[in-house]
Amino acid sequence: MKKTIVLKVSSTKPEIRLIRLAARIIQNGGLVAFPTETVYGLGADALNPKAVKAMFKAKKRPPDNPPIIHIADKNDVYMLAKKVPKKAEKLMKALWPGPLTIILERSKILPNITVSGLDTVAIRMPRHKVALALIRESKSPIAAPSANLAGRPSPTTAEHVLRDLDGRIDLVLDCGSTRIGVESTVVDLTVNPPQVLRPGGVTYERLVKILGKVRLHPVAIADKKVKMLRARSPGVKHKHYAPRAKLILVEGSSTVAVSEKIQELVNRFMDDKKRTGVLATDETMEEYEADVVKSLGSRRNFRVIAKRLFACLREFDDEGVDIIVAEGLPLKGLGLAVMNRLRKASGYKIVKVES
């Protein structure tokens, strides 16, 4: 097993010596975990098929689940894509750098393994000084899915990365907690109108303001498993974001009805000697009696909820919980991204309650 090096790096003034050390690892075909504004990514040289293959292996990631290609210069899009439509340029101008991934027709410069054999490529320009510096110093676009074992909650700290990948990758650049906490929004621009395949750090409402007509792909809002033969985007085909504990999501328009159903389920599980946790919000957490109760934050602040989501799921595992029962949230703004992650984490084990 290799030794994974951890380097603490300033997120505001990245030390160029440390960035160049990480970049040399990328250039030599190695793997570097690095922070973005959303989650930590696991980076490999996107133009080096051996490095990308090693990335898939380190994560135990299915080969049909394409990574996002990260760039530091908007002009690189024209190298990676066969054509760049005006809608893409509009989004790039308004939202890059930032938590938005666009899907375009791929160019031939990309190895097949980097795009999982697809005729499309997912590209984004992150809004994080360390990520941008690493890409620039590596002198190549970087293929970077989240820096966790496949299927686990995405990492929002370097500690999360090490729990999953210590000894499996070369280096982690540690910049503390990420700012947003859920992954980028993925928009497919190879179809008309554009489709959101994965809700994330850029809200659907913001995209509509910029582009006008935008559709939500059924997989983005699914409350049951949607069969997809080929995944154009990460996070749409395989089980994702799941803690080790079984997760059940309770949804309904009335928080009172949802809370009552959650407590009913908790009582049943605890009677069966299952260590049970509740994933609640500030407004409701005092209403529950369970082995572990955690709040994501206030329902009035979805930014905090999104930032805390994956860390909370991992904390339940740390506390040895067998079952987590989670509150559903409104499907608007960042709530849509949070609910997308919770539904997938539950494997679509969802209980609907009437008000």
Residues 212 and 264 in one domain: no
Q: Which residues lie below 8 Å from residue 241, measured CB to CB, with a gap of 6+?
A: 151, 152, 153, 154, 310, 313, 341, 342, 344, 345
Please tell me whether the peptide bond between 234 and the residue prior to it is cis, using omega within 30 degrees of 0: no
Residues 94 and 157 in one domain: yes
Considering the chain, what percentage of its residues have pLDDT values greater than 70? 96
Output the six-digit token pair for 157.
């700290």
Residues 213 and 281 in one domain: no
Domain boundary among 188, 206, 221: 221
Please tell me whether the peptide bond between 97 and the residue prior to it is cis, using omega within 30 degrees of 0: yes
Q: Which pTM does this prediction carry?
A: 0.95
pLDDT at 229 over 80: no
Q: Is residue 212 situated within a structural domain? A: yes
Domain count, the chain: 2
pLDDT at 237 over 60: no
Residues 51 and 160 in one domain: yes
How many whole angstroms separate alpha carbon 161 and alpha carbon 172?
A: 8
For residue 138, give the nearest of 78, 89, 72, 77 by alpha carbon: 72
Residues 254 and 203 in one domain: no
Residues 191 and 264 in one domain: no
Report the pLDDT averaged over residues 256-285. 97
Q: Is residue 226 situated within a structural domain? A: no
Q: Is residue 241 situated within a structural domain? A: no
Residues 154 and 256 in one domain: no
Question: b vs e for 290-318, b when ≥16 Cβ sit within 10 Å of the residue's Cβ?
Answer: bbbbbbbbebeebebbbbbbbbbbbbbbe
Q: Is residue 319 situated within a structural domain? A: yes
What range defines the domain where residue 86 resides? 5-221
Residues 185 and 255 in one domain: no
Residues 205 and 314 in one domain: no
CATH number at residue 258: 3.40.50.11030
Average pLDDT, the chain: 95
Q: Is residue 217 situated within a structural domain? A: yes
Q: Is residue 159 situated within a structural domain? A: yes
Output the six-digit token pair for 207.
């995209």
pLDDT at 238 over 70: no
Domain boundary among 169, 187, 221: 221
Residues 183 and 254 in one domain: no
Structure confidence by residue, pLDDT tens digits, 84-138: 999 999 999 999 999 999 999 999 999 999 999 999 999 999 999 999 999 999 9
Residues 266 and 132 in one domain: no
CATH number at residue 139: 3.90.870.10
Find out whether 343 and 350 touch, Cβ atoms under 8 Å.
yes
Q: Is residue 56 situated within a structural domain? A: yes
CA 138 from chain centre, in angstroms, equals 23
Q: Is residue 263 situated within a structural domain? A: yes
Question: Side chain identity at 136, as an amino acid letter?
Answer: R
How many whole angstroms separate alpha carbon 166 and alpha carbon 1?
A: 9
Structure confidence by residue, pLDDT tens digits, 292-320: 999 999 999 999 999 999 999 999 999 99
pLDDT of res. 1 = 67
Residues 275 and 198 in one domain: no
How many whole angstroms separate alpha carbon 36 and alpha carbon 130?
A: 8
Domain boundary among 183, 206, 221: 221
pLDDT of res. 235 = 57
